[in-house]
Amino acid sequence: LTRLARVDAELARLVELRYFAGLSIEEAAEALGISPATVKRRWALARAWLFRELSESPA
């Protein structure tokens, strides 16, 4: 999550809200001041980024 925050702090915040705080799309949108549609897109991006990072073998 720290690496994601260095790349995109808002994506990291979204992961915190959705995964750790358990907020819904709508609740996260309200907390971030963006539309639910934007949260859905950014949530998909964050999940893909995390999947890629966690799937890579260590260097």
pLDDT beyond 80 at 41: yes
Residue keyed to tokens 């690496």: 3
Q: What is the pTM of this model?
A: 0.87
Rounded CA-CA distance 10/57 in Å is: 26
Which residue pairs from 45-54 have beta carbons closer than 8 angstroms and sit at least 24 positions apart in sequence? 45/11, 46/4, 46/11, 46/12, 46/14, 46/15, 49/4, 49/7, 49/11, 50/4, 50/15, 53/3, 53/4
What is the amino acid identity at position 43? Answer: W
Q: Decide if pLDDT at 57 tops 70.
A: no
User: What would the pLDDT profile of 9-38 be if each residue is shown by its tens digit?
Assistant: 999 999 999 999 999 999 999 999 999 999
Break the chain into its structural domains and give their ranges: 2-55
The yes/no answer on whether domain 2-55 falls in CATH 1.10.3470 is no
pLDDT of residue 59: 58
Dist CA 22 CA 16 (whole Å): 8
